[in-house]
Amino acid sequence: MASNNDLNLEPGTVMSVEAYEKLRDEHIRKKNEEKRAQEEAESRAKKAYEEALPLKNTMRYSEEIAQEICERISAGELLIDICLELSKPTVRRCNQWMRDNPEFGIIFGQSIQDRLNIFEEQVLQIADDMARDFREVVRNGKTVRIVDPEVIARAKLRVDVRFKHLKAGKPQKWGDSTTLITKNDGENPADLSNEELERRLKDMDLKDRIMKAV
């Protein structure tokens, strides 16, 4: 049974029983249609994937595909998502490609580092994006916008996940230390060039902004 929250109704909303039942039935009908369409799409995708699995598991190394994978990883995508495509090898086969072709493995590792740069920007992008923080509800016959706690919680989770990747992949920059990191223990910040000092200060400022967003 649909709740008032499912129907975007605020507590205390006044409407006739007939209007409420009509709104509820329409909500249930749409949800059932969406669920049925999603199940059918997932079933078709699963069948196509299973049929292509033998070919994906034995796919011969392709420099073109390897390059595409690395480019997409650099742009922020995940290998497990890329390998779901019928034209791509399985994750296991892709790992075998890297073992058999060391150059591919090196470029792939560099792509992972490039993706961390994307994550840095996404953390700020997600934290600053307020477009989806609100939802429309009906209150006393009028449509109003209220804060959506589920969307905010989801955004925080996305930030947290990316931040953990940054701490693991760039510990010097995103570790727990908030001091100016120098290459050597005895290095004096006063000896740094203006360009290097400015770069490190910008890194600290970016980290501070992300820490406040987490």
Angle formed at CA 153 by CA 40 and CA 30, multiple of 5 degrees? 30
Domain, as residue range, for 160:
59-213
Q: How many domains does the chain have?
A: 1
pLDDT of 160 higher than 70? yes
- What span, in angstroms and rounded, lies between the C-alpha atoms of 29 and 35? 10
Q: Does some domain include residue 43?
A: no
CB 119 within 8 A of CB 76: yes
Residue 124: pLDDT band with limits 50, 70, 90: confident
Confirm whether 3 is domain-assigned. no
Distance of CA 204 to the CA centre of its chain: 24
User: Over the stretch 25-74, which tens digit does the pLDDT of each residue have?
Assistant: 887 888 888 889 988 888 888 898 889 899 999 999 999 999 999 999 99
pLDDT bracket for residue 169 (50, 70, 90): confident
Does residue 85 have a pLDDT over 80?
yes
Whole-number percent of the chain with pLDDT over 70: 75
Decide if 28 is inside a domain: no
pLDDT higher than 70, residue 95: yes
Residue 128 lies inside a defined structural domain of this protein:
yes
Q: What CATH number should be reported for the domain holding residue 199?
A: 1.10.10.60
* Assigned domain for 48 exists: no
45 in any annotated domain: no
Stated as kind and residue range, the H or E segment containing 177 is none
The answer for residues whose C-beta is within 8 angstroms of residue 69's C-beta and 6 or more apart is 79, 82, 88, 94, 108, 111
Residue 1 lies inside a defined structural domain of this protein: no
Confidence of residue 11 (pLDDT cuts 50, 70, 90): low
Residue with the bigger pLDDT between 161 and 192: it is 161
More confident residue, 184 or 20: 20
Give buried/exposed letters for 46-72 (b at 16+ CB in 10 A, else e). eeeeeebeeebeebeeeeebbeebbeb
Domain membership flag for residue 91: yes
Closest CA to 13 of 138, 165, 98, 122: 138
